[in-house]
Chain A
């Protein structure tokens, strides 16, 4: 992928991929283009070169909504829930483009996030940060996506909640969903990652399994603080 805003390229020839049931994590310093890469994958940024492929189908030219239909789910970093709507309504809106019955999927999501079932009638804006992230992930899961894109899901939540969220993400991956996430908390994220991408100035500097990256001397020194 090569792309950016205006003439300046933020993404310089970077390649990101993830397989079914895998967790891929993109880490890197601030301004490396992690979130931009995410936006490009979801179609909120036009690429100058390169392509986005899902299930061997080229979706480079499609609008974000059409990509949802092709099996992508996206959880933005901020403003990712409808704050004045109840938890259940948030999930319903997540499945808005589906024409069939949503009850089964909602039940599955409540199984995954039991706390949401308890609070189904509360407005999402009244929930804690961690619960809100669960609503946001649940909303994106309503379309039964094959790839789930998460843009810094643990931004601004406490370490305990972060571990809990990562556990949930592993659970989601185990159901066969491919997960691609951008993370600030690099160490913890690489711990659960099957595959890690270290991005620097819009380029993949290192691609390896999460473990290998954690053991890699250079990566540790430069990005993980030793």
Chain B
């Protein structure tokens, strides 16, 4: 019995908690991509850099707050900074929209060209970020590091294995749940949210109904800005902020959006968690777990690891390829919000 509890603790500590955290970050990122796709009908490759931009803004404002001696008790100061950082990111999104995207939207350009344009925005944003904050690694997490420490857990339960929950992990999961509930409430209950869904569903009929496309586009960027900032800041809090990492992060984020069905918000969330858990499940070394569960004579000598953690990102690509071959529209057959 104790062995089973020990192995469960191990799995919770190394797969479930990190999976939920990483999955939440991917889900928030994928939601941003899905919103842009549903309304503007293009794959926004600059979304990773938007997340980076949001994280950078959060760091700058966190530093500002800290220089005034303002902190958030046992929680990271960054949480206080996120609303302000989101505002800055929204302004940046709206600026790219009116300077770049709007021009092409009015010309009704095809989605492929739009995608290339977003790659241009990606490089511009990446450059801007390096220019403002530099390429270095930044840690901006303060407050208590743990909600639950491994040692405390061991003392509490008397098990061999510890279970640790980092504050950033708790915050990430909590904020994601709140934000997702808020987003769905907005899309399904408010007049503006419904008009967004209508526009995404049938543009011509939405126009006939008197829905203003410009307003819909602006609200889409506002939502995208918020989602990108929160996702970027939470990822940065959890793992430290490295500007270049977001260029790679955008890949599993895209895989999540496509897996769930790009354009479908529920799909983006499910996709995020599926990708996160697959990455962890395939790269976790099960040696210790097997050690608890199997009799000593059968104890494994190897690590029992499907893939080295270096291949983490490959897992999301394999999933992506399988989805594109088997069901290109994704689990929830996305297209509209």
Partner-B contacts on A (CB < 8 A): 64-65, 68-69, 74, 76, 79-85, 89, 92-94, 96-97, 139
Contacts and interface: CB of A to CB of B under 8 A. Distances in A.
Given A93-B194, A96-B195, A85 B201 contact: yes
B24 to A, nearest CB: 26
B207 to A, nearest CB: 7
A79 B204 contact: yes
Nearest to A136: B205
Interface of B: 191, 194-195, 197-198, 201-202, 204-211, 336
Contacts of A94: 209
Contact of A65 (B197, B207, B336): B207
Contact of A81 (B191, B205, B210): B205
B201 A83 contact: yes
24 contacts: A65-B207, A65-B208, A65-B210, A68-B209, A74-B208, A76-B204, A79-B204, A79-B205, A81-B205, A82-B197, A82-B206, A83-B201, A83-B202, A84-B197, A84-B201, A84-B336, A85-B198, A89-B194, A89-B198, A93-B194, A93-B206, A93-B209, A96-B210, A96-B211
B210 A82 contact: no
Name the residue among B195, B198, B202, B209 with the largest chain A CB count within 10 angstroms: B209
A93 B198 CA distance: 7
B209 A96 contact: yes
Contact of B202 (A65, A68, A82): A82
Contacts of B210: 65, 68-69, 96-97
Nearest to B198: A93
B201 A64 contact: no
A216 to B, nearest CB: 35
A84 B334 CA distance: 11
Contacts of B201: 82-85
B208 A85 contact: no
Contact of B209 (A79, A83, A97): A97
A83 B201 CA distance: 7
Contacts of A81: 202, 205
A21 to B, nearest CB: 24
A64 B205 CA distance: 11
B194 A85 contact: yes
Nearest to A124: B201
Contacts of B205: 76, 79-82
A47 to B, nearest CB: 19
Contacts of B206: 82, 93
B264 to A, nearest CB: 9
Nearest to B206: A93
B190 to A, nearest CB: 11
Contacts of B202: 79, 81-83
Contacts of A64: 207-208
Given A92-B191, A97-B210, 18 more contacts: A65-B208, A68-B208, A68-B209, A74-B208, A76-B205, A76-B208, A79-B202, A79-B205, A82-B201, A82-B206, A84-B197, A89-B194, A89-B197, A93-B194, A93-B198, A93-B211, A96-B191, A97-B209
Nearest to A66: B210
